[in-house]
A and B are shown apart, each in its own frame.
Chain A
Amino acid sequence: MKRHRKVPFLHVAVDLPKMDIFLQQIINGLVQGSIYALVALGYTMVYGIMGLINFAHGEVVMIGTLVTITVATTLIKAGMPVAVAGLAGLSSAVLVCMALGWGLERIAYRPLRNAPRLTPLITAIGMSIVLQNVAMIVWGRNYLTFPHLLPKVNFEFAGAHFTAIQVMIVVVSGLTMAGLVLLVYRTKLGMAMRATAQNPQVASLMGVNSNRVISAAFVIGSALGALAGVMVGTYYEIAHYQMGFMLGLKAFTAAVLGGIGNLAGAMAGGILLGIIEALGAGYIGDLTGGFLGSHYQDIFAFIVLIVVLMFKPSGLFGEKTGDRA
C-alpha cells in the first residue's frame, strides 16, 4: 500500500488515498448536522409535550438571526467592542424569540388545544407565512451580512480544514442538548413537562399548571431557536427572511429521523442527517457512475428517512407513541 500523505506532528499515517477528503466531509457533515440538531431540539421540545409540529420554528430561528444582525451591527457602528456587541445581539435575540415563542403559543396555539389535529398545523403554516412577511417588511428583501463576531481561526488536521466557529457550533449544540436533558429529567419543571406530555388532564389534577408548562416549553424552544439563529449567522455570515423555512424543514426531518419528542434522538438525527448529506454529495455520484450526483443531495436525507421509518415507524430512538396521531 502506498503512503500518500504523512502528517508528522500528529504521527498519524494516512493510508487511504483521499483520507483527508473523507475526514473533511465528516467535519462538514458534523457541523451542518449540529446546526440541524440545535434547531431540531426546538421542534422536539414542543412536540414532546404537545404533539404539535411548530412549523413556525424555522421562522423563529430566522428572526433570531436578523435581530442579532440589527443589534450587533448598530452597536459595532456605535463603537462598542465586538465581543460586547455580539453578546448584546445574542441576548436580545434570545429575549425577542422567547417573547415570540410565548406569544405564538398564547395567541395561535393555545385556543386550538382541542381542535382537530390538522388545525394547529395549518395555523403553524399560517404563522410561518406571517412571520416571514413581517420580517421582509422590517428587514427588507435583500440578503444581509452578519457581522464578524468571532475572529477567523483556521485549524488543519490531517489535511482537513476547520474553523473555530465550527468547533463552537458542535460544542454549543452538544452542551445545549445535555442541558435540556438535565432540565427535563432533573428539575421540577422537567418533571412537570414529562407529566404534561403523558397526560395534561391528569397532570393538572396533580397540581401541575399545564398551561404554564406548555408556555415554558415554547419559551425554551424559542430561546434555542435564537441560539441556533446566532450560530447559523456566525457560521454562514448571511441572513435572509426566507432562510428559516428550508432549515426548519431539514431540522424537522432530523427530529423525525431520531424519533420526534426524544431529545437525544433529535441530536442524533441532526448529526446523522448532516453526515448523510455530506457523504451523499461527496460519494454517491462516483458510486453510481455519475447518475446520482450532488443534485440529489437534498433527497438522500428523505430516502434514508423513508427507509428508517419503514423499519422503525417511530424513528431511530422514538418510543412507541401508540395511536397518537
Chain B
Amino acid sequence: MSKWLNPRSAFGIALIAAALIALPFVAAMGGQAWVRILNFAILYVFLALGLNIVVGFAGLLDLGYIAFYAVGAYTYALLASPHFGLHWPFWVILPIGAAVACFFGVLLGSPTLKLRGDYLAIVTLGFGEIVRIFLNNLNAPINVTNGPQGITLIDTVAFGDFRFSGTSQVLGVSLSGPQKYYFLLVALAIFVIIINLRLQNSRIGRAWQAIREDEIAAKAIGINTRNLKLLAFAMGASFGGVAGGVFSAMQGFVSPESFSLIESIMILAMVVLGGMGHIPGVILGAVLLSILPEVLRYGVGPLQMALFGKMLIDPESLRMLIFGLALVLVMRFKPAGLWPSPERKRELSEKRAGAV
C-alpha cells in the first residue's frame, strides 16, 4: 500500500492529483457545506504545517500560534475592505500579510530565545492572548481594528475580473465559490508541503533537528542557534499569516473571537496527534481533527436514536466529549502520534527498551 501511495512515484502523484481534483466535486454531492468543511480542513493543514516548522522541526513549543493567523487575517481585512476604504488586490496583500506576521514572529522569538519547554509554552500562550486582546481593543483612541465588532464586507479573492465568490464557468466546468477556494487552498497547501519537504532535509532542517534534540550540543558544533530559532519562528509565522489572509477573504468577516486560545491548542493538537515533525502525519492530524467534529455532529444524534430510541445526551455535548476522549486515547496508545516518522518511532522503542 505504501508503495502505491508513495508520492515519489509518478503513479502515486497522478493518483493523488486525481483524488485532489475529484474531491470537491464528490463533496459537493453532499452539499456545498461539505466543500466548505473541506476548505477549513485544508486551511488547518496549512496552519498545522506552519506550526510544524516551529514545534516539529525546531522543537519550540508554541501555544500562541493563532496570533500570526490573526495578524494575517487582519492585515488582509484592513487592506481589502471598506473599513479604511482600501481594496488592494489579493496577490499584493498576501505577501504583505506574510511579512507582517513574520515580523511578529521575530518579535515573539527574540525575547524568548533563552526559554525552553514549559516556560516557552506559557510565554507564547501569553503572546497569543496579547495579540488577541489588542485586536479586540484597538478601536479607541484611533479606530484601527474596529474592536470587538470586527471587520465586515471584506473583499473576496479576485484575479482581475475572475472573482472567487459566486458560481462561474472554468474550462466548461461550473465551479461554486467554495470549490474555487478549494483549488486555491490546495495550491497553497502544496506550496507549503513542498517547502516543508525541502526544509526537512536541508542544512537548516538538520540544524533545527539538532537544536530540538540537544540545544547545547547543537551550539557546540557551531550551529547559530539564535538565528535558526528566530528563523523557525519567522517561517512558521509567515505561513500563519498567509493562512489568515485566505481565511479573511473566504469568510468576508473577521472578529477577534475567531482567534482564541482554544484555536492555538487545536492546531497544536493536530501537529502532535498526527505525528510531530512528520509531514504526512501532520496532514493526517489536521484533516482528522477538523473533520472529526463535523462527522460527530452528524453521526452522534442518529446513532443514539438508533441505539436507545431517544436522545439520552444531546449530540452537541457528546461531540466535544468524544473529541477530548479521542485526544486522550490516541496519546495513550500511540504516544508519538498516529503516523510518526520512522526515526521517531525507532527512537521511542529504544527509549522504551532502555527504560525497562
Contact = CB atoms under 8 A, between A and B. Distances in A.
B327 A122 contact: yes
B332 A111 contact: yes
Contact of A313 (B61, B119, B215, B261): B119
A325 B117 contact: yes
Given A114-B352, A118-B55, A256 B276 contact: no
Contacts of A127: 324, 328
Contacts of B111: 306, 310
A126 interface: yes
Interface in A294-310: 295-296, 298-299, 301-303, 305-306, 309-310
Interface string B295-331: 0000000000000000001000110110111111001
B150 interface: no
Interface string A38-52: 000000000100010
Interface in A279-320: 290-291, 295-296, 298-299, 301-303, 305-306, 309-310, 313-315
Contact of B129 (A118, A125, A295, A299): A299
Interface string A127-142: 1111011101100000
Interface string B52-73: 0001000001000000000000
Nearest to A111: B332
Contacts of B325: 126, 130
B351 interface: yes
Given A115-B331, A122-B273, A295 B119 contact: no
A315 B116 CA distance: 12
B119 A302 contact: no
A122 B272 contact: yes
B114 A313 contact: yes
A118 B285 CA distance: 15
B324 A129 contact: yes
A122 B331 contact: yes
A111 to B, nearest CB: 5
Interface stretch (B16-24, B120-128, B183-191): B120-128
Given A122-B269, A127-B328, A116 B276 contact: yes
A252 interface: yes
A323 B216 contact: yes
Given A125-B269, A253-B126, A296-B137, A137 B331 contact: no
B276 A137 contact: no
Interface string B113-156: 01111110111011101100110110001000000000000000
B228 to A, nearest CB: 17
B332 A53 contact: no
B265 interface: yes
Contact of A117 (B117, B261, B320, B321): B117
Interface string A154-197: 00000000000000000000000000000000000000000000
A278 interface: no
B123 A306 contact: yes
A116 B328 CA distance: 14
Interface in B203-262: 214-216, 261
Nearest to A301: B126
Interface of B: 55, 61, 111-112, 114-119, 121-123, 125-127, 129-130, 133-134, 136-137, 141, 214-216, 261, 265, 268-269, 272-273, 276, 313, 317-318, 320-321, 323-328, 331-332, 335-336, 344, 348, 351-352, 355
10 contacts: A119-B272, A125-B265, A126-B326, A127-B328, A129-B324, A133-B318, A256-B119, A298-B129, A305-B126, A310-B111
Q: Which 4 A-B pairs have the closest CB atoms?
A: A126-B327, A302-B126, A129-B324, A115-B335
